Amino acid sequence: MNRQKQMLQYVVADLAMAVVVWVIFFVFRRYANDSQLFPDVAIWDPNESFWIMLFIYPSYCLLIHYLSGYYLRPFRKQRLVEFVTTFTTSLLIALTIFFVLVLGDIVVSYHYYYVSFTVLFALQFGFTYFARHMITRHVAKKIKTGQLSFNTLIVGTGHNAHTVFQQLQLSQHKEGNKVVGFVEVSDEAIVDKEKVLCPLHEIASVIQQHHIVEFFIAVDNADEDTLFSIINALLIYPVSIKMLPRTYEFLTARVKINQFLTSPYIEITALTMSDWQLCVKRFFDIAVSAFVLVFFSPVFLYLFIRVKQDAPGAAFYRQDRIGLHGRPFQIIKFRTMHHNAETGVPQLTTAQDQRITPFGMVMRRYRLDELPQFYNILKGEMSIVGPRPERKYFIQQIMEIAPYYCLLYNVRPGLTSWGPIKVGYTDTRDKMVERLKYDILYLENMSLLSDLQILFFTLSIIIRGKGL
């Protein structure tokens, strides 16, 4: 199974259909304007605008299709969802392009406008849906015949694991799950011992060797600590994690059931934010980050000079943080402390920390030291809105009290979120745990609207200089 290859098939098909649609629509417009099909064969002599739009139109279509979230899950597409998504994007494309063309027309009857819009929409929807339907149908057929499968591991070796294995075997030709084996934990071994591939702590090599894409947690009598230790071990991998409904009480209000799946399992890695919102969120991150890095470059230069003048040392400060899937990355900030202010054991920062430089205090108050993190956002390591990334040293301390911290690995860390707004700088472990509660609240209610609310409150804090 190759997710990127399958996604590329849909992208190429959409681009090809968009080119076909524009060529046919161009022919229609020439015919409708000239009232005859071949006036001196001029219809086959495209003008400059045709070639410009031949590039713009498919590119615009691809952007709208991406923002709709259609490419996010190239496998197991629901036919009704595919139909509705294609219909909606085609309508949006036809409306926007139609009004652009109307502004360029001089004198045309209203009847022509209606017909022109209808033709454009019908062409866009018809060709795009036909191509997508054929690809989706082909994929479904490959799953049904066993040519395409999703390598799956079951975490557990007891009665629940055996039950899940039997259920997946029965639905293999529909869902495509191919169970390659079991992962040993603490429960009694009921399943075939030859299919037990490894204990939980050796799972990394098995994932790589067998190209695992899905996990099913099916541990007998798992308490909260055991469950979250398993989840913590799995969330560091970019795989889907599902579990039996009977363990849902341990995660009440922390995960959501995917409404579009007929499967009875809960998908822990599924976010409450819809696919189209996730894509719009990422597009917003890229657009805003690029804008800030380019148009605020004089501000960056000024801050760079002031930091160098304020205290000896490098202007930028890099620090290892934990991000999406528990992967470490280097966060970038303008240095607000004296050089080598922290040696040995990591220390939390207080509002009146003597290690902070005079200009560093000003930058912290207005959050100016965070500006370089737009580069982290552009790279995809962070998002504008999301739980603040933390260091591994402090994460281990937090998880002693709140083992569900690992759920934050599901999303990109952010520049701002409810935690920093409600709690501010975290100078104690108790405050870090309190901030985590707001981060979990954010995960439960992720949406573009909540992101806008967070941005509004963040801007208010920055304007009032209440960053500390």
Q: Enumerate the domain spans of the chain.
A: 3-144, 150-267, 275-463
For the stretch 102-127, pLDDT in tens is 655 554 556 667 788 899 999 999 99
Q: What is the mean pLDDT of residues 13-18?
A: 96
Q: Tell which residue, 270, 373, 285, 364, has the closest CA to residue 329.
A: 373
Q: How far is CA 390 from CA 234, 280, 331, 400, 425, in A?
A: 19, 25, 10, 15, 12
Diameter of the chain by CA atoms? Answer: 83
Asked whether 235 and 325 are in contact (CB, 8 A), the reply is yes
Q: What pLDDT shows up at residue 297?
A: 94
Asked if pLDDT for residue 37 goes beyond 60, the answer is no
For the stretch 325-361, pLDDT in tens is 889 999 999 998 888 777 777 777 766 777 888 888 8
> Which is it for the CA torsion 62, 64, 67, 72, positive or negative?
negative
Determine whether domain 150-267 maps to CATH 3.40.50.720.
Answer: yes
Q: What pLDDT shows up at residue 449?
A: 94
Assign 101 a pLDDT band (cuts: 50, 70, 90). Answer: low
For the stretch 306-330, pLDDT in tens is 999 888 888 999 999 999 988 999 9
Give the C-alpha separation, 458 to 24, whole Å: 49
Strand order in the sheet with 196-199: 196-199, 177-184, 150-155, 214-217, 240-243, 266-267
Q: What pLDDT shows up at residue 346?
A: 76
Asked whether 260 and 81 are in contact (CB, 8 A), the reply is yes
Percentage of the chain lying above the pLDDT 70 cut: 88
Q: How far is CA 411 from CA 34, 236, 277, 362, 384, in A?
A: 55, 11, 13, 30, 12
Which residue carries 């259920």 as its tokens?
167
For the stretch 214-267, pLDDT in tens is 999 988 877 777 888 888 888 888 888 988 765 444 454 444 544 444 566 778
